[in-house]
């Protein structure tokens, strides 16, 4: 029988409007997940999209945002109807998540002043360096304040017209509710947060306003930033106008209560229940990043490390690499074409499911092969552009298994560079990491490679495959269902699926192999630099 707890069917839960919705706009896919009151994933909808390079900036059109969000929710409706024989008519609460950072600037009439500049852009080097010196706090190129300040430095004409800047999640939430707010985790990727106040660091706000004083701009920084809200607070309801952006009828989403919008880093921490000190999670997609919850603030400023927060405001060190699985995905596309030419057209799940396990049969250090999967620039290793490379010695062992291991190893090398700063220079202790993202859907492979790359046991939450949209739905549930003074950590501990089984412990052979590959990778960055000079 289709039931959950007390004999109530899932269809009845959906019809009664007691379920929760999370929607996340990721870099390659928009996904919506519907969960039960107990946190069980019931159904998901998805919509694929890709960024484009326009006039030197990685971007998505706002029309794509709404077409994708509406298409994703329509797919969710289809899945609910097919699985449970009913339609979504009411939802208890929901939440919006998206890629962190980036730059969306609007004038006082709500008009977009410049195309959306995503986190992937590496055009803000001078601004990031100046702000890091001004604040004595690492400001990465991806952060919204770096994008804003670079526009100021470049004298872009739109700067004087700015009335509001936000992230992608903040934009969608604003258009749905009219509320210009952000969850604290997403806000911490716009501008530094003071952990004592749970708000933007006022000393740094004043320093920035002072720096811009001579430019006589018509705004102060706080005038144009979203309000910061922690997890668990109410952040507005979907208006009739907002509902019509999501579905033509505007019926089932109108009036939906929303929690504060969050970034994908925050939802990843929630989905993997990694918000305790000495724990962390690693998310692998177009980018790859590790979020490590700290016991104390770092002793020094490191330009390679972001300081952000959990959705409930704990300090987090974020090691973020721009290039994750994109080059692996491109190779998988080629393998799919080969298979199709031979008469079999596999699904992406079949392709990854059959090929990735071959890694476990490969040479420990990938047979002498070297992949540098820089589709875009990589700030951790000092690149503003990328040229994906595959290099091998003639005597190397060039096999499919070794090629796959090389591609997956490469996905974690820039990340390892950042983590070495935390564990080596800062003495940060990491007792356990949780895997999160598509590569971990293949049993054992992703966990073993990540454990080898980091030297840390790697767990896999029971519902990790649902990703950040599930984490966002849990934050919506927390807003509505938390008891008085209940912490987010206690709430998550009670949700089935956020825990994991026995973690995969690093194996000596894998560790030695990755270390050898890691040294080869850093030596090979000289080839990447030459490729940038030669291949224009």
Q: What is the CATH number of the domain that holds 296?
A: 3.30.420.40
Question: pLDDT value at position 437?
Answer: 73
Tokens of 512: 């030695």
Phi-psi region of 528 (alpha: psi -120 to 50; beta: other; left: phi over 0): alpha
Tokens of 389: 């490379």
Q: Would you say residue 311 lies in a domain? A: yes
Whole-Å CA distances, 415 to 295, 410, 426: 21, 9, 16
Q: Would you say residue 6 lies in a domain? A: no
The reply to whether 91 and 219 lie within a common domain is yes
Residue 424 gets which letter from DSSP?
A: I
How far apart, in whole angstroms, are the C-alpha atoms of residue 147 and residue 128? 8
Question: pLDDT value at position 62?
Answer: 97
How far apart, in whole angstroms, are the C-alpha atoms of residue 176 and residue 246? 9
Question: pLDDT value at position 467?
Answer: 78
**Full domain range(s) for residue 399:** 274-460+506-536
The reply to whether 151 and 99 lie within a common domain is yes
Q: Would you say residue 497 lies in a domain? A: no
Domain end residue (candidates: 234, 264, 294): 264
How far apart, in whole angstroms, are the C-alpha atoms of residue 465 and residue 459? 13
How far apart, in whole angstroms, are the C-alpha atoms of residue 189 and residue 333? 33
Q: Which residues of the chain have pLDDT under 50?
A: 1, 3-7
How far apart, in whole angstroms, are the C-alpha atoms of residue 238 and residue 175? 9
Question: pLDDT value at position 312?
Answer: 93
Tokens of 286: 């177009």
Question: pLDDT value at position 356?
Answer: 96
Q: Do 292 and 335 touch, CB atoms closer than 8 A?
A: no
The reply to whether 240 and 114 lie within a common domain is yes
Tokens of 263: 């970034």
Q: Would you say residue 470 lies in a domain? A: no
The residue among 24, 107, 138 whose CA lies nearest residue 379 is 138
In this structure, the strands spanning 57-59 and 52-54 are: antiparallel
The reply to whether 82 and 142 lie within a common domain is yes
Sole residue written with tokens 């907002």: 242
Taking each helix axis from N to C end, the angle separating 125-135 and 202-212, rounded to the nearest 10 degrees, works out to 120
Q: Would you say residue 1 lies in a domain? A: no
The reply to whether 328 and 288 lie within a common domain is yes
The reply to whether 393 and 306 lie within a common domain is yes
Question: pLDDT value at position 500?
Answer: 64
Q: Give 299: exposed, middle or buried? Use CB within 10 Å, 0-12, 13-18, 19+.
A: exposed
Cα-Cα-Cα-Cα dihedral of 143, 144, 148, 154, to 10°? 40
- Count of the separate structural domains present in the chain: 2
Q: Do 32 and 80 touch, CB atoms closer than 8 A?
A: no
* Three-class DSSP category at 216: coil
How far apart, in whole angstroms, are the C-alpha atoms of residue 129 and residue 384? 14
Question: pLDDT value at position 5?
Answer: 42
**Terminal Cα-to-Cα distance of the chain (whole angstroms):** 61
SS (H, E, C) 507-518: CHHHHHHHHHHH
Whole-Å CA distances, 183 to 97, 137, 358, 435, 536: 9, 21, 41, 23, 41
Q: Give 63: exposed, middle or buried? Use CB within 10 Å, 0-12, 13-18, 19+.
A: exposed
The reply to whether 301 and 180 lie within a common domain is no
Taking each helix axis from N to C end, the angle separating 326-341 and 348-355, rounded to the nearest 10 degrees, works out to 100
How far apart, in whole angstroms, are the C-alpha atoms of residue 187 and residue 290? 18
Sole residue written with tokens 């090691």: 319
Phi-psi region of 56 (alpha: psi -120 to 50; beta: other; left: phi over 0): left
What is the pTM for the complete model shown? Answer: 0.84
Whole-Å CA distances, 348 to 94, 243, 325, 332: 30, 33, 14, 8
Domain end residue (candidates: 264, 298, 313): 264
Question: pLDDT value at position 297?
Answer: 83
Instruction: Write out pLDDT tens, residues 367-422.
Output: 999 999 999 999 899 998 999 999 999 999 999 999 999 999 999 999 999 999 99
Q: Do 363 and 513 touch, CB atoms closer than 8 A?
A: yes
Tokens of 299: 């002793």
Q: Do 312 and 345 touch, CB atoms closer than 8 A?
A: no
The residue among 470, 499, 439 whose CA lies nearest residue 44 is 470
279-296: buried (b, 16+ CB within 10 Å) or exposed (e) per residue? bbbbbbbbbbbbbbbbee
- Enumerate residues 6+ apart whose C-beta is below 8 A from 525: 372, 381
Q: Do 29 and 36 touch, CB atoms closer than 8 A?
A: no
The reply to whether 236 and 328 lie within a common domain is no
Question: pLDDT value at position 440?
Answer: 84
The reply to whether 452 and 403 lie within a common domain is yes
Q: Would you say residue 496 lies in a domain? A: no
Q: Would you say residue 220 lies in a domain? A: yes
Q: How far is CA 260 from the centre of its chain?
A: 16
Domain end residue (candidates: 264, 296, 326): 264
The reply to whether 24 and 70 lie within a common domain is yes
Tokens of 479: 């807003």
The reply to whether 296 and 225 lie within a common domain is no
Sign of the Cα torsion 486, 487, 490, 492 reads: positive
Q: Would you say residue 491 lies in a domain? A: no
The reply to whether 297 and 238 lie within a common domain is no
């Amino acid at each position: 029988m289709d039931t959950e707890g007390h004999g109530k069917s899932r269809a009845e839960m959906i019809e009664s409007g007691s379920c929760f919705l999370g929607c996340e706009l990721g870099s390659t896919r928009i996904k919506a997940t519907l969960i039960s009151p107990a946190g069980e994933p019931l159904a998901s909808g998805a919509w694929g999209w890709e960024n484009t390079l326009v006039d030197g900036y990685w971007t998505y059109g706002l029309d794509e945002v709404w077409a994708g969000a509406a298409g994703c929710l329509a797919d969710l409706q289809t899945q609910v109807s097919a699985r449970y024989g009913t339609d979504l008519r009411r939802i208890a609460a929901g939440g919006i998540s998206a890629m962190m950072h980036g730059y969306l600037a609007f004038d006082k009439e709500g008009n977009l002043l410049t195309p959306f500049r995503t986190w992937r852009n590496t055009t803000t080097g001078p601004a990031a360096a100046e702000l890091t010196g001004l604040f004595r706090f690492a400001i990465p190129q991806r952060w919204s304040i770096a994008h804003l300040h670079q526009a100021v430095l470049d004298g872009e004409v739109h700067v004087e017209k700015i009335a509001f800047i936000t992230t992608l999640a903040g934009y969608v939430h604003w258009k749905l509710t009219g509320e210009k707010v952000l969850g604290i985790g997403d806000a911490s990727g716009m501008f530094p947060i003071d952990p004592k106040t749970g708000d933007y660091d006022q000393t740094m706000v004043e320093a920035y306003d002072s720096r811009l004083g001579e430019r006589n701009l018509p705004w102060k920084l706080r005038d144009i930033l979203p309000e910061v809200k922690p997890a668990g607070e109410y952040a507005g309801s979907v208006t009739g106008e907002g509902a019509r952006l999501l579905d033509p009828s505007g019926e089932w989403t109108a009036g939906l209560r929303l929690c504060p919008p969050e970034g994908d880093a925050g939802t990843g921490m929630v989905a993997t229940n990694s918000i305790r000190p000495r724990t962390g999670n690693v998310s692998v997609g177009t980018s790859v990043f590790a979020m490590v919850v700290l016991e104390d603030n770092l002793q020094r400023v490191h330009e390679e490390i972001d300081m952000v927060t959990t959705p409930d405001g704990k300090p987090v060190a974020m090691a973020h690499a721009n290039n994750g699985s994109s080059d692996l995905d491109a190779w998988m596309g080629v393998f799919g074409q080969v298979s199709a030419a031979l008469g079999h057209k596999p699904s992406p799940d079949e392709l990854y499911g059959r090929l990735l396990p071959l890694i476990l049969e490969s040479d420990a250090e990938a047979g002498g092969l070297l992949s540098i999967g820089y589709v875009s620039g990589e700030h951790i290793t000092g690149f503003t552009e990328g040229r994906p490379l595959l290099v091998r010695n003639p005597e190397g062992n060039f096999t499919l298994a070794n090629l796959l291991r090389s591609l997956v190893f490469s996905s974690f090398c820039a990340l390892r560079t950042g983590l070495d700063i935390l564990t080596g220079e800062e003495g940060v202790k990491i007792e356990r990491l949780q895997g999160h993202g598509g590569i971990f859907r293949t049993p054992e492979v992703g966990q073993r490679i990540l454990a080898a790359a980091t030297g840390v046991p790697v767990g896999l939450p029971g519902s990790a495959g649902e990703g950040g949209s599930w984490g966002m739905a849990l934050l919506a549930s927390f807003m509505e269902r938390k008891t008085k003074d209940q912490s987010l950590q206690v709430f998550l501990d009670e949700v089935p699926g956020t825990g994991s089984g026995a973690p995969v412990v690093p194996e000596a052979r894998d560790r030695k192999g990755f270390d050898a590959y890691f040294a080869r990778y850093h030596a090979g960055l000289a080839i990447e630099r030459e490729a940038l000079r030669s291949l224009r």
